[in-house]
Amino acid sequence: MRRISRALAAAIAIALAGCGSAPDVSGDRLPHFVAPTGPAPRVALVLGSGGPRGFAHIGVLKALEEAGVKPDLIVGSSVGSMVGALYAYGISARDLERMAYDINMLQFFELRMLDGKPATGEALQNYVNEHVHGLPIEKLPTEFVAGATRLSDGKLALFNHGDTGLAVRASSASPGQFEPVTIGNERYVDGDEASPVPIRAARALGARVVIAVDVSAYVESTPQGVPQEWIDKDARRARQVAAEAPEADVMIHPDIGYYAGESEAYRRRVIAIAERVAREKIPAIRVALERASSPAGQGAPMARIPSGEASR
């Protein structure tokens, strides 16, 4: 029963719905990376991993919208890729918030979980594709990139073309809770494993201003008695985020508590906390934007990742 409850919580965390079979994806529709050809993005928003903690991303989006800050590029890892894809399609922060409150637990369950098997993630793929009306990543109104971990070498792979839902599914395939996702000749798991908050990816894509959102727990707030597995995972994630954080102009890391949840009360609480913390960061964001707009801040055009670099 405990395993089933955890599986349900994980499914709820990434807001998936519907349990139909995933459509066949092949050819150019397979998620892949293509070197961007347009102007480098001025503002990148990086949304990190965190399972149900990802509801907090919605609060950040609300504060940014209120301040008139609109990203040209959204890079997401795990739950951040799901929220990012929906936002890149054009779903407003307010509408994302309503969607978060309308989630129905019974829509997230896969019968295979009764046998202790990990979820396939097909429901997430279908959910995302339904809400972006089948648009591939390259057709989304805002440039979007999903990060996943390639199992063959443990490195971060980026997807900016192809099936949006499948890319998000790969980015969110948390080991032990979801099956690895096969795309072409490679298998992928949760982007959290390689880069919980893919700030370097945003920089490599040419962003002049990077606003990063980390919704992970504060390690110093770890309560006594939690499993060592959790402690080790939190420490690993904190090290990875700290290694990339200096490359962000503004880091938003709301303290939403250690334990994650799936109730509506939890969703409302973390969204509200994140919105408040993000509002406090708006002055720093404006300074970064002004600096990037100045002649000194513009400098020479930044090189962007060539095709193939992100998938080696």
pLDDT bucket at 296, cuts 50 / 70 / 90: low
Rounded to whole angstroms, how far apart are CA atoms 176 and 42?
Answer: 37
Q: What is the pLDDT of residues 230-275, one digit of tens each?
A: 999 999 999 999 999 999 999 999 999 999 998 999 999 999 999 9
Residue 180: what pLDDT?
Answer: 97
Residue 113: what pLDDT?
Answer: 76
3-state helix, strand, coil in the chain (%, to 5): 50, 15, 40
Q: Give the number of other CB atoms < 10 A from CB of residue 221.
A: 10
Q: Is residue 214 flagged as an active site residue?
A: no
pLDDT bucket at 303, cuts 50 / 70 / 90: low
Average pLDDT of the residues in 55-66: 98
> 49, 311, 22: which is closest to 188 by C-alpha?
311
Average pLDDT of the residues in 63-83: 98
Length of the chain: 312
Which is higher by pLDDT, 1 or 204?
A: 204
Residue 32: what pLDDT?
Answer: 97
Q: Are 75 and 289 in contact (CB under 8 A)?
A: no
3 state SS of 133: coil
> 38, 11, 7, 6: which is closest to 169 by C-alpha?
11
Phi first, then psi: give them for residue 111, nearest 5 degrees.
-60, -30
> Which two three-digit tokens encode residue 153?
């070498």
- Looking at the chain, the whole-number percentage of residues with pLDDT higher than 90 is 77
Average pLDDT of the residues in 107-115: 75
What pTM value is reported for the model? Answer: 0.89
Query: Which one from 49, 72, 77, 78 is the annotated catalytic residue?
Result: 78
Q: What is the pLDDT of residues 139-152, one digit of tens each?
A: 999 999 999 999 99
DSSP character at residue 190: -
With the CA atoms of 253, 254, 255 and 259 taken in that order, what torsion angle do they form, in degrees rounded to the nearest 10?
-90
> 51, 59, 97, 58: which is closest to 277 by C-alpha?
59
Query: Which one from 190, 192, 234, 249 is the annotated catalytic residue?
Result: 190
pLDDT bucket at 13, cuts 50 / 70 / 90: very low
Q: Is residue 81 flagged as an active site residue?
A: no
Q: What is the pLDDT of residues 208-232, one digit of tens each?
A: 999 999 999 999 999 999 999 999 9
